[in-house]
Amino acid sequence: MLFHIRCRDKTSQMNMRASTRAVHLNYISKYGDAVFFAGPTSTDDGETITGSIFIIELDNMTAAEEFSKGDPYRKMGLFESIEIEEVRKIIPTTD
């Protein structure tokens, strides 16, 4: 199953994000090819990071929630909100 995880940062938390970045990236990399996409969101000018988005393949919603709970950014209290939804890939087709 594919999951979309949308995390919004608390305002003015760039120092927390920067100080935890290496351990966050190490955590995400442990999921290997299960991570289809991971990256930050930003303001329109691209200067300020506002959160994170993941598209990840996991067995079920419980596994997606555990993935999110294990993220060092979340553990450090960086996120104001987290949304997790199951998604289906339609395009491009893989046939």
Q: Where are the beta strands (DSSP E) in 10-95?
A: 35-42, 49-57, 79-87
Mean pLDDT of 61-80: 97
Tell me which of 82 and 92 has the higher pLDDT. Answer: 82
DSSP 8-state code for residue 92: S
Whole-model pTM?
Answer: 0.90
Where do the domains of the chain lie, and which CATH numbers do they carry? Answer: 2-87 (3.30.70.1060)
Residues 6+ positions from 93 with CB-CB distance below 8 Å: none
pLDDT at 95: 62
Q: What is the pLDDT of residues 42-52, one digit of tens each?
A: 999 988 899 99
pLDDT at 78: 95
